[in-house]
Amino acid sequence: MRLRIAATSLLLLAACATPVAMTGLAESEPALLLVGEQHDEPAHHEQERELVRTLAARGTLAALALEMADSGASTAGLSPQASEDDVRRALRWDNQGWPWSDYGPAVMAAVAAGVPVAGVNLERPRLRATMTDASLDTALPPDKMQSQRQAISDGHCGLLPEAQIAPMARMQVARDRHMAQTLARLAVPGKTVVLIAGGGHADPELGVPRHLPPGLSHRSILLPDTGRPKRDYCEDMKRSLTPRGGSPSPAPSR
Structure confidence by residue, pLDDT tens digits, 228-244: 877 777 887 777 755 45
3-state secondary structure 16-46: CCCCCCCCCCCCCCCCEEEEEECCCCHHHHH
User: Residue 195: which of 36, 15, 71, 18 has the closest Cα?
Assistant: 36
In this prediction, residues 182-201 reach a mean pLDDT of: 97
The Cβ-side half-sphere exposure at 161, using a 13 Å CA radius, reads: 9
The residue that leads in pLDDT, 71 or 249, is 71
Inter-residue contact 117 to 107 (CB < 8 Å): yes
Spell out the domains of the chain, with CATH numbers in brackets: 2-122+189-227 (3.40.50.11550)
Q: For residues 155 and 139, what is the distance between their CA atoms, to the nearest angstrom?
A: 21
The residue that leads in pLDDT, 85 or 254, is 85
Q: For residues 207 and 93, what is the distance between their CA atoms, to the nearest angstrom?
A: 24
Compute the mean pLDDT over every residue in the chain, rounded to the nearest whole number. 87
Q: What is the pLDDT of residues 104-142, one digit of tens each?
A: 999 999 999 999 999 999 999 999 999 999 999 999 999
Quote the distance between the C-alpha of residue 169 and its chain's center: 16
Q: For residues 254 and 38, what is the distance between their CA atoms, to the nearest angstrom?
A: 8
Which residue pairs from 145-148 have beta carbons closer than 8 angstroms and sit at least 24 positions apart in sequence? 145/169, 145/173, 147/205, 147/206, 148/172, 148/173, 148/206
Q: What are phi and psi of 239, to 5 degrees?
A: -70, -25
Inter-residue contact 52 to 226 (CB < 8 Å): no
Supply the pTM of this predicted model.
Answer: 0.84
> Residue 91 — very low, low, confident or very high, per pLDDT cuts 50/70/90?
very high
